[in-house]
Amino acid sequence: MNSVTPTRRQYVQAAAAGIGLSAIPVASAQESNGQLVFVYDDSPASDYSKAFPVHREEDAPACVGAIASVVEADDEGLSRDQLLEMQDAGWEVMSHTLEHRAVGPITITEDVESGDERVYVERSLHGGFPGDTVLITDDDDEEVATVVGGESDERGDYLLLEEPVEGSYAVDDGAYERLTDDVLERATKESKERLESMGFDVDSFVFPYGRRGPAVMEFVEEHYAGVANYDYDGLNPGEDADPYRIGREYFREERMSETEITDFLDTVQRDGMLGMFAGHNYADDLTQERIRFAIRQAKQRGIEIVTLREAFAGQGLLDESDTAEGETTQTPTATPTQSPTPTRSSTATQSPTSQTSQTTSSEPTTSPSSGSTATPGTLSSKPTPADRSNSSFLDGVLQWLSGLF
């Protein structure tokens, strides 16, 4: 930020001395050119071979939404050593679940009758994990079933179940299926634990396929300090943000033109906002040239490029207990011309797992401007830009002080 953020000690001293809060220097949206966060999902090797060199040359940090099992495997995508090098250079590591499961609810597209072994769904994302248990419900009735696979026919995608369902669930009643709580907890909690056991500091969570719901949000809020893809509006408050309502936009060529990128950055600069760009480095249309273009356009506007952890810390959203070391990651200071030498070959189209073999498979089908993907049981949307402009920093200060005394 362009001005000094008051510390907890300053607040306490001001309160004890009877000094007005206006006397304390603060970083407000009007005084800042805004901040920008880059997040790359799925931890393919091309995070290291494609994005990392550009960011390092431009002296700009970024974040990786890491799939714990991919990093552990050490030969399916981004290796542990590569990711540790990126973390040492100022990058933030986020959890993208244990094995890239879709942790949000999925709409049932045909009525389910007692005795059915196939459940037709909007997308058979849970079919790739035989043995997982799902909750089938219309919010009135529910039952647990075990998945044995997922396929498609002329009627659409479906889940194949180990045993026939016992109840009936109507599309008109809002029927959907989601992973059971034990699977959700493993996907969220164990992912964080396993990444941390490999030496990574993990504060934030990235929803696979952008899918979320009330059930998984409970686990995310229990184990993480925030999320990086609540929805697909990448313009977030520059002050008093809700760390569990942070949105982002994909900036590859198919999703944003260069004009749309510059318009987005103009808004970040003008309103002092927290912007977020996201991408998958195995996508052909997310090139090094596009990454460099976005970084340099942000720099030209005086926008500070930070990690999400740094943005949260700057807004006072992280306590020392929220991070492993009690400090935010520093911006890399490597020589601009220095670039890493990958330890193994990779291509721009490489996918880390079979669950993300399509360049669009982890992205919603909605356009960045159309908001979040509609799924049953999702939470209410975050404030609009107009709402954000009316947020009060003083309210946040008073709320913070009330927690002290």
Euclidean distance between CA atoms 367 and 233, whole angstroms = 10
Place of tokens 């669950």: 355
Give CA separation, 216 vs 82, 196, 252, in Å. Answer: 30, 20, 28
Provide the pairing of β-strand 63-66 with 92-95.
parallel
Q: What is the mean pLDDT of residues 132-148?
A: 96
Q: How confident is the model at residue 364 (pLDDT cuts 50, 70, 90)?
A: low
Q: Collect contacts of 195-200 with beta carbons under 8 A, ≥24 apart.
A: 195/66, 195/68, 195/71, 195/93, 195/95, 196/324, 198/71, 198/72, 198/80, 198/84, 199/80, 199/84, 199/87, 200/66, 200/83, 200/84, 200/87, 200/93
Confidence of residue 319 (pLDDT cuts 50, 70, 90): low
Distance of alpha carbon 383 from alpha carbon 129, whole angstroms: 35
Q: Are strands 118-120 and 156-161 parallel, antiparallel or unpaired?
A: antiparallel
- Give pLDDT tens digits for 304-318: 999 999 999 999 998
Are 227 and 205 spatial neighbours (Cβ–Cβ below 8 Å)?
yes
pLDDT at res. 57 = 98
CA angle at 335 for the pair 333 and 340, rounded to the nearest 5°: 100
pLDDT of residue 81: 96
Residue 157, strand partner residues? 152
pLDDT at 115: 98
Q: What is the pLDDT of residue 32?
A: 82
Please name the residues in contact with 38: beta carbons below 8 A apart, sequence gap of 6 or more. Answer: 51, 55, 60, 61, 62, 63, 276, 277, 278, 279, 291, 294, 295, 305
Q: Is the dihedral of CA 158, 110, 175, 163 positive or negative?
A: negative
Q: How many CA atoms lie within 13 A of 313 on its CB side?
A: 16
Grouping H, G, I as helix, E, B as strand and the rest as coil, residue 95 is: strand
Structure confidence at residue 21 as a pLDDT band (50, 70, 90):
very low
> Tens digit of pLDDT for each residue in 233-289?
999 999 999 999 999 999 999 999 999 999 999 999 999 999 999 999 999 999 999
Angstrom distance (rounded) from CA 136 to CA 168: 10
Q: Angle of helix 258-271 relative to helix 288-300, nearest 10 degrees?
A: 30
Please give the residue that has the higher pLDDT: either 322 or 56: 56
Tens digits of residue pLDDT in 172-212: 999 999 999 999 999 999 999 999 999 999 999 999 999 99
Nearest-angstrom CA–CA distance, 9 and 55: 35
From the CA atom positions of the chain, what is the Rg in Å? 22
Model confidence at 402, in pLDDT bands (50, 70, 90)?
very low
Per-residue pLDDT reduced to its tens digit, 82-95:
999 999 999 999 99
The pLDDT tens digits of the residues spanning 268-280 come to 999 999 999 999 9
Q: What percent of the chain has pLDDT over 70?
A: 71
Q: How many CA atoms lie within 13 A of 223 on its CB side?
A: 23
Q: Does domain 34-100+183-392 have CATH number 3.20.20.370?
A: yes
Where are any strands of DSSP class E within 138-261? Answer: 142-153, 156-161, 176-179, 202-205, 226-227, 235-236, 249-250
Mean pLDDT of 322-347: 36
Q: 106-107 and 176-179 as β-strands: parallel, antiparallel, unpaired? A: antiparallel
pLDDT at 383 over 50: no
Written as one string, the DSSP assignment of 52-91 is HHHHHHTT---EEEE-HHHHHHSSSSS-HHHHHHHHHTTP
Query: What span, in angstroms and rounded, lies between the C-alpha atoms of 93 and 230?
Result: 17
pTM comes to 0.76
Structure tokens at 230: 């609540």
